[in-house]
Structure 1
Amino acid sequence: MPIGKTKRSRTSSSYNAGFLEGAAQGKSDGRWQGQCEAIMQATQLPVQKRPVHILYVASGKELPYSSLDQGIAAALAEAAERTTVMQPTDPVVPFAIGERPDLVLVLDGTRFEAENVQLLRMHGIRTAVWLTDDPYYMSFTSGYAPLFDYVFTPERNCVPVYQQLGAANVVNLPLGIHPGSYRPRNARRELRGDVCFIGSAYRNRLELFRTILPALSHRKLHISGYWWEQLEIPPSFNGTFGPGRWMDPLETAENYSANRIAINIHRAIDDERNENDILIPAASPNPRTFEISACGTLQLVDAREDIGSYYVPDEEIVTYGSVEELLGKLEHYLTHEEERQRIAWRALLRTMRDHTFAARVSRLLDTAQLG
């Protein structure tokens, strides 16, 4: 056979194989994206503004708190006829005394002086704090949270503690997601992979990945976040590694969307970075639980007692209780694509329907009997 003909045949064969592979991938991506977009549109419901003025005092912190501030402020702007956003260092008290908002809502509260809360209440202005990290910093929050008229905590087990400390109105209200940030995204091809973990390398997370990495050498992984330089990456590691980086919500959402499974590992209650002297056990899901589910990605999360209050296990979210169960379920869902996608789509629907900041703000305002 002439050499030129052999080259043409090989080129044609490679082209055809690449064309078929690309067509199949494009069809799969289009189906995934189309279903996600249909869910997003089906859950976009009109919000009726309430005739109230909310003064929102932001956390005053950088990422990840600044992204929470943006999402909550956007949800308040949709829900209330008037929303004012201020920083903890702004003249909140004089402004509130002059404008008489229906509620002063403070996020986190560690940078808002306790004296300000007392002055606001002395002038008959209702106050609320929405805590972000319970129960991990209760050595701090227990000192100022009970000063507010309303305490909203993301941890169910913290409710009776604040009540015992004298807080009159305590409600378990987890954080949520802002669909403008966390939503399914058409991720760049170079980011595509099998499994990802995004978050800080707390001790229990380090220990888990040291154990499971050898078993996942045949999978493309992505690991990123603060303190991961402590993790020794084996030569067999296949994927991307970003220690010392904190991604903003848009980049985080793209990376979640790029991977078929996202692992979520809750922070240990006895981690040395905590400030929780009384070691209140945690039962409620962390914010990542909602953020991952909002991106149309299957989530494998370590089991917590209260997760079933937010997602149906094995239908909308997948839990594990041991390393062996985690590895087994990773392998199962990476080889059962239809089942994996169906669970992820159900989680997306549940999240956009029930777990947005708009839904959380609505419940918060209902609790305060506003509007």
Structure 2
Amino acid sequence: MGVRRVSMAGRGRAAGLRDGFARGWRDGACRAISESAPLFGAVKRNLRVLFIPQGFEAIDDGVAEGLAQNVTELYTASPERMYEQASLVRPDLMLVLNGLHVFPADYPAQLEAVRGLGIRTAVWFADDPYMTGDTVNLAPLYDTVVTHELSTVELYRQIGCGDVHYMPFAAHAGRFRPMQVGPEYRSDVCFIGQAFRNRVAVFDAAASGLKGLRVRIFGGLWERLRSFRRLKPSIRLGWLPVDESVRYYNGAKIVINLHRPAEAGSDNRNTLNLPGRSINPRTFEIAACGAFQLTDRREDLELYYRPGEELETFDGAADLVDKIRHYLAREDERSRIAARGLARTLREHSYPARVNRLLSELGYP
């Protein structure tokens, strides 16, 4: 019995040393990448911009930071006060983020009044294609439409929008960043997001394959799971603040990114049933934390990351479980992929760089 206790203690110490070494390697690699990442060399345009945020802080703050580095004058107003502020500062451009959910009923009238002042208006839709039942009515109200979703570009042109652009979102690197976290944030596998039907199906199918792993799942509606009782110890229901999400990303060996369903139904207002072809902002945010990411595929993914080199992909629940087991057993391979994903994100997918590209697309070189 004494020999067994010693053996178990020895294995525990060995595992602790391996984990400590792996975390030390990760911390050092992330620090070196972050410190050596080239700073975005913004050349400020002589441009006055009024920014109307959407109320989702991670994207709002990132876009605001990007604008601040790319224009000489930046003003911000709530949706309720967009006309009041526009009439006061007379911007060259009023950029509205998303224009959904938190915007007041009179916002279309305010928008028309702003255009009546001769001010160029633009919207950057963040929920395409999931809210096309609403966006097809809103898009024609703007001079310029920007969408992060490939499938809606032609839609907006077909309904009469004359100036339409495709532009993905990015990562707010000041917020989504590598950091050391305590054991309470650590896991083998982490997923943060609402329990949309496709996600429920994947986790139900994967539940037995996750047995014995430290799994953390955050978000609403996870009572939909058939395997809810089995996975309940791993689930925290409800909204998770952004800064807590960052800590859990940093503490996870593997972060799953599973896009929401695009099919028309109870989980969205995609009344035109357009496919989801583009990656979500979370793809960039997970990578910016230096976390290893397992994501389902979207058509434009390889424009931004190299699967197998800077993140990894999966196709269905069985493949997800196989990939989880594969990469949990290969610490070095997993860490190097995550490090390359971080480097690519800092190099190309920060908001200052993305907003610079956006303004050029809109005709402000």
Cα contact 2:169–2:354 (8 A) shared by 1: yes
Tell me the CA shift for residue 229 of structure 1: 2.5
Name 1:307's counterpart in structure 2: 301
Structure 2 counterparts to residues 53-202 of structure 1, below 5 A:
53-59=48-54, 61=55, 65-90=56-81, 92-110=82-100, 111=103, 113-202=107-196
Partner of 1:181, secondary structure, is coil
Q: Distance in 2 between matches of 1:126 and 1:205?
A: 40
Matched, 1:246 2:239: yes
Q: Distance in 2 between matches of 1:234 and 1:119?
A: 50
Tell me the CA shift for residue 147 of structure 1: 2.0
Cα contact 1:299–1:318 (8 A) shared by 2: yes
Tell me the CA shift for residue 233 of structure 1: 5.0
Name 1:4's counterpart in structure 2: none
Tell me the CA shift for residue 297 of structure 1: 1.4
Tell me the CA shift for residue 96 of structure 1: 2.0
Q: Distance in 2 between matches of 1:107 and 1:319?
A: 29
Partner of 2:21, secondary structure, is helix
Cα contact 2:99–2:123 (8 A) shared by 1: yes
Superposed CA RMSD in Å reads: 2.5
Partner of 1:47, secondary structure, is coil
Cα contact 1:53–1:101 (8 A) shared by 2: yes
Cα contact 1:221–1:238 (8 A) shared by 2: no
Structure 2 counterparts to residues 227-266 of structure 1, below 5 A:
227-231=221-225, 233=227, 237=231, 240-243=234-237, 245-266=238-259
Tell me the CA shift for residue 24 of structure 1: 4.2
Partner of 1:89, secondary structure, is helix
Partner of 2:364, secondary structure, is coil
Partner of 2:79, secondary structure, is coil
**Does the C-alpha gap of structure 1 residues 36 and 160 become closer, same or farther in structure 2, counting only changes over 3 Å?**
same
Cα contact 1:217–1:238 (8 A) shared by 2: no
Tell me the CA shift for residue 17 of structure 1: 7.3
Cα contact 2:187–2:251 (8 A) shared by 1: yes
Deviations 1:156-210 (A, max 9, x none): 1100000111111111112211112111121211221111111000011111111
**Does the C-alpha gap of structure 1 residues 187 and 276 become closer, same or farther in structure 2, counting only changes over 3 Å?**
same
Unaligned stretches of 5+ residues in structure 2: none
Q: Which amino acid aligns with 2:244?
A: E
Partner of 1:151, secondary structure, is strand
Tell me the CA shift for residue 107 of structure 1: 0.7
Matched, 1:360 2:350: no
Cα contact 2:293–2:311 (8 A) shared by 1: yes
Tell me the CA shift for residue 116 of structure 1: 2.3
Q: Which amino acid aligns with 1:82?
A: E
Name 2:198's counterpart in structure 1: 204
Q: Distance in 1 between matches of 2:228 and 2:117?
A: 61
Using the size of structure 1 for normalisation, the TM-score is 0.89
Deviations 1:254-298 (A, max 9, x none): 101111111111111124121111101111011211111111111
Q: Distance in 2 between matches of 1:297 and 1:239?
A: 23
Q: Which amino acid aligns with 2:45?
A: R
Deviations 1:16-37 (A, max 9, x none): 8776655543332221011111
Structure showing greater relative contact order (alpha-carbon pairs closer than 8 Å, 6 or more residues apart): 2
Count of residues paired in the alignment: 359
1:50 to 25, 45, 50: 45
Matched, 1:269 2:269: no
Using the size of structure 2 for normalisation, the TM-score is 0.91
Cα contact 2:77–2:85 (8 A) shared by 1: no
Bigger radius of gyration among the two:
1
Name 2:289's counterpart in structure 1: 295
Partner of 1:351, secondary structure, is helix
Q: Distance in 2 between matches of 1:343 and 1:50?
A: 36
**Does the C-alpha gap of structure 1 residues 25 and 335 become closer, same or farther in structure 2, counting only changes over 3 Å?**
closer
